[in-house]
Amino acid sequence: MKIVFLEPLGLTVDAIESACATLKAAGHEIVVYPDRNPQENIKRAEGADIVVESNMPLRKDFLDACPKLKMLSIAFTGLDHIDMEECRRRGITVMNAAGYSTEAVAEETICMMIGLYRHVIENDKITRSCKGPSMAPGREIAGKTVGIIGMGAIGQRTALLAQAFGCKVIAWNRTPRQMAGVKFVDKSTLLKESDIVALHIALNDETRNFLTAKDFAMMKPSAVVVNAARGPVVNTDDLATALKNGVIAGAALDVYDGEPPLKADNPLLTAPNTMLLPHIGFATKEAFQLRLGIVVNNIENKLEVSS
């Protein structure tokens, strides 16, 4: 079978080909493209039986152009960028790389909490201005209540890290869960009691616009929001308005309604007390290596190839 990597997944071509040694030994053709170019995806996937990529949207036009396609091995956790309904209709297997970024995203979440509380971006600007010893005093996360929305693997790991920093952790989850030291509460209670609200829920019809103006109005004026889940789970316009009107104190985001670069008219660009990152939560060397192993293993299992 022809297995096409539409991108190098943050690694070298040699690293990917080495990881695919067993597949090559079994007679399968491996094609690895050394760069990421969404405009070339259809051309690159020509004749492919299996396609590997991370978070580039693959919709009906792509599937129409790939009549031989039997599998998408997605090097990402979420699948909202894939036309899943069309894949099911065509009998195309879709597998993700669940778990590869758990540590990376949880650590980034804590990083954003501390970054907001200690005004890291603002203090960096002050230092670079070379205009004297003025500073923006911060706060400590120790002793604060962290409310985690979504207690899958990443949410649970974030809870453990927050506890290690001396935070009280409360949580909301769609289905009942238990975790030592974590009190599970309803959504309204979480919003009212939390100093820091961290989002770790998947994007679907139920979670789109999970936080809107009415939710921000329930929160403490001193509270901050950290979103390392999916952009559309928070209403962008409502969040920007809440920040500009002082309804909440700050927000740190690594995800948006659409991938960066952001459009110039995005209201978050002019909202105060924000930390805006370019969707890098998953992007660590360790996570990239781990997800390559998961992606290749998914293909080997599909093809019943033993490594």
Residues acting as catalytic residues: 230, 259, 279
**SS3 (DSSP) at 289:** helix
Kindly list the distances between the CA atom of residue 194 and the CA atoms of 12, 57, 170, 172, in Å, as whole numbers in the listed order: 43, 35, 8, 12
CB-count exposure of residue 27 (10 Å: 0-12, 13-18, 19+): exposed
**Helix ranges, the chain (H):** 13-19, 21-25, 41-44, 60-64, 84-90, 102-117, 120-129, 153-164, 187-193, 213-218, 236-244, 285-303
Listing DSSP states for 198-265 in one string gives EE----STTTTT-B-HHHHHHS-TT-EEEE-S-GGGB-HHHHHHHHHTTSSSEEEES--SSPSSPPTT
Tokens of 31: 């094609």
Residue 126 φ/ψ, nearest 5 degrees:
-60, -45
Residue 267 DSSP label: G
The closest alpha carbon to 197, from 281, 111, 113, 78, belongs to: 113
Amino acid (one-letter) located at 164: A
Whether the Cβ atoms of residue 228 and residue 281 lie closer than 8 Å to each other: yes
